[in-house]
Amino acid sequence: MLKAVFFDLDGTLLDTVPDIQACVNRALATFGHPPITYEQTCSFVGDGAKMLIERALPAGSSDLDACYDFFRREFAADSSARTRLYPDEMPVLQTLKARGLKLAVVTNKPQDAAQAVLSRFFPQGLFDFVGGDTSMFPCKPDPSLARYGALKLRVSPAECAFVGDGEPDARVARNAGMHGISVLWGYRSRAQLEGAGATVFAENFLQLQKILEKLS
């Protein structure tokens, strides 16, 4: 029986790439590097902020640590003016919550940035657990943070679904022993997700709700 739903953040709960791109490009400009495009940003996200900056920098750049620190400060303080919810998202999340499911977020985004952006778009108390990158656990697809979240929620991994738009999400679901659901409104194609082992797909939040209801 399903008792909890874990969500990825970027590309799953929020369309954050426009703000991520703006913050990355401010960091790159500060250190004299060329900007990246929207398409590049979409392909670079998903494996943590430091990997994002490493991919955005020219190969062999010595500015990785300084540029990463600058980006983290910029993104945590960003107004998120370009970030958007997805269609039907809030009613679906509220319905799931009302039906007694615990809702959680596990993201490779830095913890402070994750908490800041979630507080701007979602009511307090909607999510029962928020886990971001604090260097305490390895980033997804390592299952440690997802399993820790299940422990905090007092549910077994087998009673959880993991919902995400990226390859790390499909892999972390399998690695953690959770039901994996890959969403198609994010930053990866179905073919890319299938290549990571995904087998269950949702095209929108309403379809996701139906899939989760069948697991409950």
Instruction: Grade residue 78 by pLDDT with cuts at 50, 70 and 90.
Output: confident
Residue 169 and residue 102 share a domain: yes
- Contact criterion met (CB below 8 Å) for 158 and 177: yes
pLDDT at 92: 98
Provide the mean pLDDT of the chain: 96
Residue 146 and residue 194 share a domain: yes
Instruction: Grade residue 93 by pLDDT with cuts at 50, 70 and 90.
Output: very high
Is pLDDT at 216 greater than 90 in this prediction?
A: no
Distance from C-alpha of 32 to C-alpha of 189, rounded to nearest angstrom = 32
pLDDT at 31: 97
Residue 163 and residue 58 share a domain: no
Q: pTM to 2 decimals?
A: 0.92
CATH code, domain carrying 126: 3.40.50.1000
- Contact criterion met (CB below 8 Å) for 172 and 106: yes
Instruction: Grade residue 80 by pLDDT with cuts at 50, 70 and 90.
Output: confident
- Contact criterion met (CB below 8 Å) for 46 and 10: yes
Q: Tokens 């991919």 sit at which residue? A: 55
pLDDT at 25: 97
- Residues 57-80 have a mean pLDDT of 91
183-192 pLDDT per residue, tens: 999 999 999 9
- Contact criterion met (CB below 8 Å) for 198 and 170: yes
Distance from C-alpha of 82 to C-alpha of 131, rounded to nearest angstrom = 23
Domain residue limits at 89: 4-15+84-215
Catalytic residue IDs: 8
pLDDT at 76: 79
24-33, 109-118, 151-160, 206-215: range with lowest mean pLDDT: 109-118
pLDDT at 200: 98
Q: Which of 62, 77, 92 is the last residue of a domain?
A: 77
pLDDT at 22: 95
pLDDT at 71: 94
Q: How far is CA 99 from CA 40, 74, 209, 216, in A?
A: 39, 38, 11, 10
Residue 123 and residue 179 share a domain: yes
Q: Tokens 């209801």 sit at which residue? A: 213
28-52 pLDDT per residue, tens: 999 999 999 999 999 999 999 999 9
DSSP state, residue 10: B
Residue 113 and residue 73 share a domain: no
Q: Which of 36, 59, 77 is the last residue of a domain?
A: 77
pLDDT at 75: 84
